[in-house]
Amino acid sequence: MELWRTGWDINRILTVILLISIIVSICMVVYVIVTPKQGEKFTEFYILGINEMADEYPTQLTVGEDGKLIIGVVNHEYADVSYRLEAKLDGAIIHTEQIDLAHDEAWEEPFTFKATVEGADQKLEPLLYREGADEVYRSLHLWVDVAPPG
């Protein structure tokens, strides 16, 4: 018991505790710096007008006329993802494409479709599927009126 009464032993114990605390603190700071912060996982899916803005969409066409827009996908899923893009016009598939993106990689391409049938409120649907899934992951739509030629 006399060992505890000397100031030298108490100082030694407190010094060891302080050193251990400093080492643990440094390890925690290194861990926080090295470990990347993972945010929300999501995919951007959008359409733009041919002017690369969110306007001037091809909503008024005549039979035989081409509608042009831009479709974009940005992967924020923190993993490589394979997507399948499918475009439908009034329920009929008019385009299918495979898109493979790494995390934070973007894909943006012009898309052209042809108005072949006269009618109002035809639904153009770009649909995005994740690899191996049968259900739609993201969907967009645009209402197109197609007038007779002339």
* Residues 14, 77 within the same domain: no
Whole-angstrom distance, CA of residue 99 vs CA of residue 8: 70
Which band of pLDDT confidence, cut at 50, 70 and 90, is reported for residue 38? Answer: confident
What's residue 1's pLDDT?
45
Model confidence at 2, pLDDT cuts 50, 70, 90, reads low
How does DSSP classify residue 11? H
Residues 24 and 61 in one domain: no
| Domain at 71, CATH number | 2.60.40.10
Q: Which candidate, 47, 52, 44, places its Cα nearest to that of 140?
A: 47
Which amino acid would we find at residue 84?
R
* Tens digits of residue pLDDT in 107-143: 999 999 999 999 999 999 999 999 989 999 999 999 9
User: What pLDDT is stored for residue 7 in this prediction?
Assistant: 59
Q: What is the pLDDT of residues 3-33, one digit of tens each?
A: 455 556 888 889 999 999 999 999 999 998 8
Q: Is 91 helix (H, G, I), strand (E, B) or coil?
A: coil
- Judged on CB neighbours under 10 Å (0-12, 13-18, 19+), 79 is exposed
pLDDT, one tens digit per residue, over 42-77 is: 999 999 999 999 999 999 999 999 999 999 999 999
Name the domain count of the chain. 2
pLDDT (0 to 100) of residue 8: 66
Predicted confidence (pLDDT) per residue in 84-106, tens digit: 999 999 999 999 999 999 999 99
Whether residues 21 and 49 fall in one domain = no
Give the range of the structural domain holding residue 55, as residue numbers without chain letter.
42-147
Task: Determine the pLDDT at residue 76.
Answer: 95
pLDDT confidence of residue 33 = 87
Residue 59 shares a structural domain with residue 133:
yes
